[in-house]
Structure 1
Amino acid sequence: MGTNFQAKPDNIERPNRPMFIDPIGDLQPQVGMMGDSWFICATLEAEDREFGILVHYIKKPTLSGTSTIAIADISTSRYLLDEAKEADYETVGQGFKVSSDNLKWSADATTMAAQGKTDAGDSFDLKLKRQGPTIAYNGTGSFPLIDNKLTTYEYGFPRMDITGIVTVDGKNYPVTGNGWFDRQWFPVADASTLASGDTRWIWISMPLSKGEVVAVWSATGKQEHSWADILHADGSHTIADVDPISENMFGIWTSSKSNINWPSGWNVTIPSVNAKLKITIDFQGQETFEGFHRIESVTHIQGTYNGEEVTGRGCGEIVGDPQIKEIY
């Protein structure tokens, strides 16, 4: 490992469990880290429209931060992207403020406000309120992501109630919905793993209709590892094996912008909770280009969990070329 794990001070959310993250204290930047990332993916409904919202701020050790926003207009299958704007970060109390040409984002321990605007003039103005406990990945907030080499710290607020306005083509749409806030960082010492050329991953967030929250990781270096973190409705947490994600993709398409073959979704099987879930990306083209080529998409979830039918709206992220050779 590039970093020795050190437990954080006692955690008020789960005081009996050792943690490598502090859900509130770690809203602040991390010293000596690369890929220091703050991220929101939201699924929103208006009276007759659906939208997805992406908000992403990345702070690098020796460079200023960058902000990316996107509005997925699901009804018209358009991805309204504005990325790589230089952004400033300011610590405010227990929270922060991020400011750039395309994003104003503020946060404290329980609430957030995000205003984004693309160069074309489409925008959003959202209020978010945290509901329920933190999901600490791997149960502790730290795990080795790529071939047991890339030390990763990550946690999320998977249920954030959202109200606000999305403005597309000059029309305002009052919206409500759910947001998933994710916080992630990597040590600089492990940068060689990211630069090896073998690194790619898939992350899928799934708030399900029965109250469970599922986050699936599939990380590929020399070898693929696929697993799920499950935050149960009662607040307990399970880590579960997942059938290999790379073997369960469907609807492959080729991007005219990156020339990469991307999937349109995944069939996710989690044997220990008898889950068979079909995750479908709402439309093709939800692609970003800063740093790694990425898919940052809103998704529809349908299937069974513990033998019961479930649905959900979530997000899917693909970082790096998944190296799909065959179109099907």
Structure 2
Amino acid sequence: MFANRTLTAIFFVIGAILVFIMMALMGTREEEGAANDGVIVSDALSAQEDTSQYARVFEPRAFSFPQDHGPHPDFKNEWWYYTGNLETPESRHFGYELTIFRVAMAPDQVERASGWATRQLYMAHFALTDVEQERFYSFERFNRGAMGLAGAVAQPFKVWLEDWVVIGAEGENIFPLKIAVAQDGIALELELDAAKPLVLQGEDGLSQKSAEPGNASYYYSFTRLLSKGEVRVDGQSFPVSGTSWMDREWSTSALGEDQEGWDWFALQLSNNTELMFYHMRKKDGTADAFSGGTFVSATGETRKLSLSQVEVEVTDRWQSPHSGIRYPSGWRLAVPELQLSLVITPFQQDQELNLAVRYWEGAVQCTGTYGEANITGVGYVELAGYGNGRDEPMPK
């Protein structure tokens, strides 16, 4: 999720590749409430794989739009990541996540006569948090990038897996975007429009994840998307509006040998500013020096943040009744140089996606101060790489 997703969010999809292949071929799906032995990020990434023939992220590049909204098949993996907080006119609150992943299974396309032949596989996650009913729904799908079953195109922008789809406007500007996704009585239809310019994360869009050369991604975000549409839950339809966040990343990288996962925050504050920050966690529980983030001002200017500039303290923990994993579940976050101080709490604790890759990603709310002014906010937090048998402390 640096993406998420995500963070955001960032390399857990690589860890699902073997599971991904098996389930793509069988056409199976995981549904809400289904117990499974999902892959833990650090365990999945312990397998070594030769990625030398794929493109890698070694230096900054010039981005080109709308082309870069589309796929980058020379890289091992990429994702299109959307999260948001929505409310009805009566203030019923919903959170949502939709992430579509592309994974290359071979560096070169092999010419074959079959229309089913492809080296690209797609995986998608859809989750909805219904705060009033204290319900969390999560689903996943897998399919191959052939025969129109799944894919991505730059212009006009479209990324889809079967009937889960994100479609952009024609021309250079992809907005407004339209999201449509539905499964088992849970559905979301939204229109998203950008209220802020595109943000290049890291160094001009190059986000370095560890010390190893090439362990990086190309990463950009739209940090405030005005959102309106409809949520459907068990036969009931609710008009909703709110804000969403879009993350885009592509890479061939994996976690470094001493890294285990990450804690990723994407927050939209009531003073029209946004904050993205992620801790890359080492296996000893400390924060990696390549942790970082970005603060976006009310007028769209960005400020890069390093590990030393952001203070994060865990205030609560929650143990999943589904997996038994114990996750952080409340935080104090401060950026002293900005005079920003926040208390962050989940809208509900149970927002674990117990799918082929198991992680916690959920809607959060925050209160605090910015300078001398009181502020509130909403956002999403992703917690990946937990479940290794230790009670991992959140690095400070």
TM-score, normalising length: structure 2: 0.72
- The 1:3/1:126 distance shift into structure 2, 3 A limit, reads closer
Contact 1:202 1:219 in 2 (8 A): yes
Aligned to 1:325: 391
Contact 1:275 1:307 in 2 (8 A): no
- Post-superposition shift, 1:22? 4.0
Amino acid of the structure 2 residue aligned with 1:46: T
- Post-superposition shift, 1:146? 3.1
- RMSD over equivalenced CA pairs, Å: 2.6
- Find the residue that maps to 1:267 and give its secondary structure: strand
Matched, 1:157 2:222: yes
Larger deviation, residues 131-140 vs 145-154: 145-154
Contact 2:194 2:224 in 1 (8 A): yes
- Post-superposition shift, 1:322? 7.1
Matching of residues 1-328 of structure 1 within 5 Å: 3-8=57-62, 21-22=63-64, 24-48=66-90, 49-62=92-105, 63-86=120-143, 88-91=150-153, 93-101=155-163, 103-108=164-169, 109-118=174-183, 120-147=184-211, 150-187=215-252, 190-191=253-254, 193=255, 196=257, 198-221=259-282, 224-225=287-288, 226-242=291-307, 248-290=313-355, 292-321=357-386, 325=391
- The 1:245/1:231 distance shift into structure 2, 3 A limit, reads closer
Q: Deviations over 1:114-164 (max 9, x none)?
A: 11112x211111111122211211251112113465212211111111111
- The 1:245/1:218 distance shift into structure 2, 3 A limit, reads farther
Contact 2:179 2:191 in 1 (8 A): yes
Separation in 2 of the partners of 1:97 and 1:184?
14
Aligned to 1:11: none
Separation in 1 of the partners of 2:376 and 2:269?
6
Aligned to 1:18: none
Aligned to 2:11: none
Contact 1:77 1:283 in 2 (8 A): yes
Amino acid of the structure 2 residue aligned with 1:52: G
Separation in 2 of the partners of 1:116 and 1:294?
21
- Post-superposition shift, 1:240? 2.4
Q: Deviations over 1:178-220 (max 9, x none)?
A: 1101101222xx34x36x4733011111111112111111112
- The 1:257/1:22 distance shift into structure 2, 3 A limit, reads farther
**What is the identity percentage for the equivalent residue pairs of Structure 1 and Structure 2?**
22
Separation in 2 of the partners of 1:231 and 1:293?
30
Structure 1: gaps (5+ residues): 9-20
- Post-superposition shift, 1:2? 5.4
Separation in 1 of the partners of 2:332 and 2:137?
27
Q: What is the aligned length?
A: 310
Aligned to 1:15: none
- Find the residue that maps to 2:68 and give its secondary structure: helix
Separation in 2 of the partners of 1:326 and 1:275?
26
More strand by share: 1
Separation in 1 of the partners of 2:76 and 2:383?
19
- Find the residue that maps to 2:76 and give its secondary structure: strand
Amino acid of the structure 2 residue aligned with 1:134: L
Amino acid of the structure 2 residue aligned with 1:213: E
Separation in 2 of the partners of 1:309 and 1:156?
26
Separation in 2 of the partners of 1:165 and 1:105?
15
Separation in 1 of the partners of 2:287 and 2:309?
7
- The 1:247/1:128 distance shift into structure 2, 3 A limit, reads closer
- Find the residue that maps to 1:259 and give its secondary structure: coil
Q: Deviations over 1:71-102 (max 9, x none)?
A: 1101111111111343601415241231325x
Q: Which structure is richer in relative contact order (CA contacts within 8 A, separation 6 or more)?
A: 2
- Post-superposition shift, 1:266? 1.5
Separation in 1 of the partners of 2:193 and 2:347?
25
Larger deviation, residues 147-156 vs 56-65: 147-156
Amino acid of the structure 1 residue aligned with 2:58: N
Contact 1:224 1:244 in 2 (8 A): no
Larger deviation, residues 161-170 vs 137-146: 137-146
- Post-superposition shift, 1:246? 9.3
